[in-house]
Structure 1
Amino acid sequence: MEENHRSLNGKVTSLSKEMSTLESVVDASNNDIAFIAEQVASVKTDTGSLQGKFNSVSNDVSDIQKDVSSNDRQIISRRSDVASLQASSSSAGQVVDDLEQSVITLNGNMSSVMRGVSIVNQQRFPPSQGKGHLVSNKFEFYPREMELIEQPTFLSRHAGSFRQKQRNLIVQQSELPQHQADFARKIARFHQK
């Protein structure tokens, strides 16, 4: 009987040790589970942050694509405008030269007409007949003289307009590299993200 009692005590002691070991294992497992839960929460947080960054990058990509498309259209339009203006400038230069030559010719014609008016006045209305007739006759020639005076002025304005178009062309040509540089900087900023 005593032997059985000692055997039972031994088994109880052994079982207690096993229970203690099992409790230690359970505690360790609980700690592992808690650590894993923290890691899962951290991963979820990181995932949310990465998703936000991804969305931001996606928006940036969309904006860059829009800018690229817009810049492409602007560059094509600018090149077309430059080509058109270059062609216009070439023909405008000839027109300006022709207009300036016309101004010179008309100025010469006006001088000739003025001399003709003076001669006619002297021939038809000598000074002995009085100044009144001379003024009256002069009035008949006045509209023609004014027309000749205004034509060079009108042509000069057109010549100035063509010169301004040529200057505008030079400005637009100088601005085109800047537009291309701006586009290149936008692309570079996108690649840095």
Structure 2
Amino acid sequence: MPNSFNELPKITFRKFRLSTFLFTNNDLIRTRVSQAVTILDSMINKKTYSQLSPTGSREEKELYVVDPSIIKKKESDIGALLNSDKFLVLLYGGPADHLITAQSVRHVVNSEIEPDELASIIGDLAGIKNMDRAPRLSQREKEILQYYGRGYTLKAIGYELGISPKSAETYKSRACRKLGLTGRAAVLRFIDPSVARQNTLH
């Protein structure tokens, strides 16, 4: 496959490993797809999902998430990808135009989709059956994770949001439990993978 694709972490399921690749220059798309992969990986590797698929040979699958807005610049790189029915392609962001009829395109989503919804779509495309919808965070839980992942103490979070430190802890714990995250570093990787790579806390 083209070198211009960025490989995201593999999702390991009992039946197969799903390798996800991303083709975009858009930081928002890159972050949201990374978040969706994190959510899906957490969901399907919980004990309750380990029974969904029979044991046996492990199938290797590949999913390519492509930002249509940059295809014209890279058309020679991904022509074979779009025109083969052997691949799974998700078009994300940017105008899709005629590309939605390409053989490999399985789904098209707009740039406003939330990471949890995207996680469910990726799961569906990968063929994970009987999967519950991805967990949804409340607005307060999202706010707490943003602060917590960037190094704020529970007391400081409470001060910023006008709630008690105990309430901040409750929201934080609930959000982490929904997403299968443990520790501040995992939260940071979830809320902003690019910041996590730089190992920076504010």
User: Which TM-score tier does this pair reach, normalised by the shorter chain?
Assistant: under 0.3
Structure with the larger RCO, 1 or 2 (CA within 8 Å, 6+ apart):
1
Query: Over alpha carbons, which structure has the higher Rg?
Result: 1
Higher strand share: 2
TM-score, normalising length: structure 2:
0.17
**Normalised by the size of structure 1, how large is the TM-score?**
0.18
